[in-house]
Amino acid sequence: MVSDAILKVEHLSKYFTVNLAGRKMTLKAVDDVSFEVPKGATLGIVGESGSGKTTLLRTIALLYTPTSGRITFNGEVIFDSDKRIMKRQYVRGLISMVYQDPESELNPTMRIIDIVAEPLEALRVPRDEALRRAEEAIREVGLSSDILLKRPLQLSGGQKQRVAVARAIVTNPLMVLLDEPTSNLDVVVQAGILNLLLDLQKTYNLTYILVTHNLAVAQYMSDYLAVFYTGRMYEWLPATDEPKHPYAKALADAFPTPDPFNRKILNIEIKGEVPSMLSLPSGCTFHPRCPYAMDVCREKAPQLKSIGNGHLVACHLY
């Protein structure tokens, strides 16, 4: 799809076995996903809750063991189900993650300086050097030295998320996975965190994968967008393109854009909820909610097809 890829994901799947009323069932949280991300770029992954976005991030970072597929990162194959390759140790420090809720990431009993230094100590960086780099990272995210000896409970929500970002960049990673990093913050604080992430990306040439349910945020931050639904990728597009899949159009209508006076109203309304991942509809899994559903949508799953300009869409309308 793109050149100069630092990350290449090929036919990646992550399935979970669920025991439901004594019956074992397979939950396909990520199902046969392929894409590439160039170095220094941002991929925005959008979709409703339950679409598999966070599971995809954790699988790429090898926090979850993939069920099948292949992942190449920085020229190194870090997972290959056919060749039984698994290199968790390789990605330590090179791939880091910022979570949706910093409360769950920051140990309330630890000092801020120790929280940020902890990933370095796990990499066996000497204590003095780890503390020096942690203090530097804290300054880089716009926090003063006054917070170094404080605990997370003494900080605001925005400060906590900046600490989480400092913790993510302290190892000098090549890629940072952002799991809805601003969804729990108010609008003004959100803007500050997003602009901080953009500044850090330019300074350190970081590659980002940003998970969000807000298409406007994804478009503001990203070079490419991937639209996910029920564990599958239904659209891949440059962030400057207009979405084509009915589901992506509905997401675009659901959230305000940075420039509301230049907003295109696509008039796509979807009803109902994301279906159970244990009982997905046949064919296109979006068809029960799609205003354009045809007989073929109920019978046959659409495949990603090129519609030009690096834009791929999985929809029988195209």
Cβ proximity of 156 and 164 under 8 Å: no
Tell me which of 174 and 23 has the higher pLDDT: 174
Nearest Cα to 230, choosing from 191, 268, 287?
Answer: 287
How confident is the model over 216-272, as pLDDT tens digits?
A: 889 999 999 999 999 999 999 999 999 999 999 988 877 655 554 444 545 677 778
Percent of the chain at pLDDT exceeding 90? 78
Nearest Cα to 234, choosing from 288, 296, 298, 286?
Answer: 286
Nearest Cα to 250, choosing from 232, 274, 222?
Answer: 274
How confident is the model over 176-219, as pLDDT tens digits?
A: 999 999 887 888 888 999 999 999 999 999 999 999 988 888 99
Residue 148 pLDDT grade (very low, low, confident, very high; cuts 50, 70, 90): very high
Structure tokens at 170: 């302290």
- Residue 93, pLDDT above cutoff 90: yes
- In the prediction, which pLDDT does 261 show? 44
d(C-alpha 165, C-alpha 201), whole Å: 12
Nearest Cα to 66, choosing from 51, 78, 75?
Answer: 78
Task: Could you please state the CATH topology (level 3) that the domain comprising 5-94+173-313 is classified under.
Answer: Rossmann fold (3.40.50)
SS (H, E, C) the chain: CCCCEEEEEEEEEEEEEEEECCEEEEEEEEEEEEEEEECCCEEEEECCCCCCHHHHHHHHCCCCCCCEEEEEECCEEEEECCCCEECHHHHECCEEEECCCHHHHCCCCCCHHHHHHHHHHHCCCCHHHHHHHHHHHHHHCCCCHHHCCCCHHHCCHHHHHHHHHHHHHCCCCCEEEEECCCCCCCHHHHHHHHHHHHHHHHHHCCEEEEEECCHHHHHHHCCEEEEEECCEEEEEEECCCCCCCHHHHHHHHHCCCCCHHHCCCCCCCCCCCCCCCCCCCCCCCCHHHCCCCCHHHHHCCCCCEECCCCCEECCCCC
Tell me which of 43 and 105 has the higher pLDDT: 43
Average pLDDT over residues 48-69: 95
- Residue 161, pLDDT above cutoff 70: yes
- In the prediction, which pLDDT does 257 show? 54
For 47, left (φ over 0), alpha (ψ -120 to 50), or beta? left
Average pLDDT over residues 161-188: 93
Q: Whole-number mean pLDDT of the chain?
A: 92
Cβ proximity of 210 and 44 under 8 Å: yes
d(C-alpha 272, C-alpha 289), whole Å: 6
d(C-alpha 225, C-alpha 252), whole Å: 12
Average pLDDT over residues 83-91: 96
- In the prediction, which pLDDT does 188 show? 83
- In the prediction, which pLDDT does 263 show? 46
d(C-alpha 112, C-alpha 304), whole Å: 45
The domain locations on the chain are: 5-94+173-313
- In the prediction, which pLDDT does 266 show? 52
Structure tokens at 151: 């605990």
d(C-alpha 177, C-alpha 225), whole Å: 14
Other C-beta atoms closer than 10 Å to the C-beta of 58 total 17
How confident is the model over 17-48, as pLDDT tens digits?
A: 999 888 899 999 999 999 999 999 999 999 99
